[in-house]
Amino acid sequence: MKKIFIYCCMVLSCFCISCGEDFNIFFSIDDEKALGLQVSEEIAADPTEYPILPRSGNEKAYQYVEDIMNAILNSNEVNHKDDFDWELTLINTPTLNAFAAPGGKLFFYTGFLKYATSEAELAGVMAHEIAHSDKRHSTESMAKEMGIAALLGIVAGENAGALAQLASQIAQTGMALKFSRAHEYEADEYSVRYLNSIRSYKEYDPIAILDFFDRMNEENLSEEDGKFEFLRTHPYDANRKENVHKIWQKLGSPTGQKFSAEYAQFKALLP
């Protein structure tokens, strides 16, 4: 039955990947979770490309970032808060990057954590990544790159080659997770919305993601120089800043804190 289903998807995938509603019909939440699990297992199995910071010995660092993730997941604007298996993994390299795999699997590089200057800034970028996963942008990007049939093959355990290819693509080019500009605008919007909606729980500055954009601009980090991997998967343009401001004003220009001192203590925990 699954094979017939996959065949139908092969025929139809070229029509449905451009249409969100059809995409949701062909790729269920359970498929999404299974794909996320397989991608994260593949990543864990490749310590050369992805040297995961072990939890053992780094409990405090993990606790700190997981507390931020769980604070954001308190937002009633996260659709898949309860049905995704949210998990945050730290990769111990100087790479300036973070990415969201399907089904709530988030990956942050220690290089990126050291680059951020406040807890609110990290929360802003983490909320952006949570939005990519929650809005299923990650799966949509992968489907555009590989086709839904290949993704369903991975979920069914019938496409080990495609799974390995997917994991190495994420590592080498980030292409499998390269988001469209529309995805970036939506993830930025929900970064502000999530942080605003949890202010009674944790009063983060809802637009702290702009600190990250501003510093990136000041340092003239570009997609081409290869230093800043984040730009290869998250295309940036000046309108993104304007978009963040608009959403923030629409929400009544809420203010909050940066939690910079706490963040400095956290950074001291990193290897």
Which positions touch Zn ion (CB under 5 A)?
A: 179, 184, 187, 234
Q: Closest CB to Zn ion among 23 and 179?
A: 179
Q: Closest CB to Zn ion among 118 and 138?
A: 138
In angstroms, give the least distance from the CB of 177 to Zn ion: 9
In angstroms, give the least distance from the CB of 235 to Zn ion: 8
In angstroms, give the least distance from the CB of 132 to Zn ion: 6
Q: Closest CB to Zn ion among 184 and 229?
A: 184
Structure tokens at 229: 């991997």
Q: Taking the CA atoms of 44, 140, 143 and 30 in sequence, report the sign of the dihedral they define.
A: positive
Task: Answer for the pair 265, 213: CB distance below 8 angstroms, yes or no.
Answer: no
Structure tokens at 4: 């017939």
Q: Taking CB positions, which residue lies at the least distance from Zn ion?
A: 234
In angstroms, give the least distance from the CB of 267 to Zn ion: 23
Q: Closest CB to Zn ion among 9 and 131?
A: 131
What are phi and psi for residue 117, nearest 5 degrees?
A: -110, -10
In angstroms, give the least distance from the CB of 125 to Zn ion: 9
Q: Closest CB to Zn ion among 26 and 188?
A: 188
Burial class (CB in 10 A: 0-12, 13-18, 19+), 59: exposed
* Torsion, CA 57, CA 62, CA 64, CA 67, rounded to 10: -140
